[in-house]
Structure 1
Amino acid sequence: MVCFCFLVDQTREVRRSKLAAGVCSRCGGGASVADMKTSTRFCLVPLYWKSWSAVMCTYCGAILKSYH
């Protein structure tokens, strides 16, 4: 009998951000342009990471638009 156990974790981190013109369509908060880093780990070992930019809300943290 074979048993597979996968422990996969994905974290999203804001590296830096600056204010941008516009408001959030969900809560009405301000918008900012952020450089993001997403890392995927398997059993605490980082397997894959990607850097990308996004326009996000400064109040609720929702991602309004992403640039991969």
Structure 2
Amino acid sequence: MVFFCFLVDQRRKVRSSKPAAGICSRCGGCASVADMETATRLCYLLTVHRVTWRAIICTFCGAMLKSYRHYRLY
């Protein structure tokens, strides 16, 4: 029996954010530090992989200025 499973989508969601010092290099808008979450789904069924990370994003244009892993203990 052959069973095919494929990547359906990968969604990024901002869980929380707070203002940060600095400005965007692209548009000159304010920057904020955001806790992001990426969820990967396979075969329209279930979320297989979930990663939490932190990024510095522009509040005006939405550009990601810097991203880095953020390990949180639950």
Normalising by structure 1, report the TM-score: 0.86
Deviation of 1:43 after TM superposition, in Å, equals 2.1
Q: Any unmatched runs of 5+ in structure 1?
A: none
Amino acid of the structure 1 residue aligned with 2:50:
W
Aligned to 2:72: none
**Contact kept? 2:54, 2:67, Cα under 8 Å:** yes
Aligned to 1:58: 59
> What are the equivalent positions in structure 2 for 1:1-68 lying under 5 Å apart?
6-44=6-44, 45-68=46-69
Q: Any unmatched runs of 5+ in structure 2?
A: 70-74
Alpha carbons of structure 1 residues 5 and 47: separation in structure 2 relative to 1, 3 Å? closer
Normalising by structure 2, report the TM-score: 0.80
* Alignment coverage as a number of residue pairs: 66
Deviation of 1:46 after TM superposition, in Å, equals 0.5
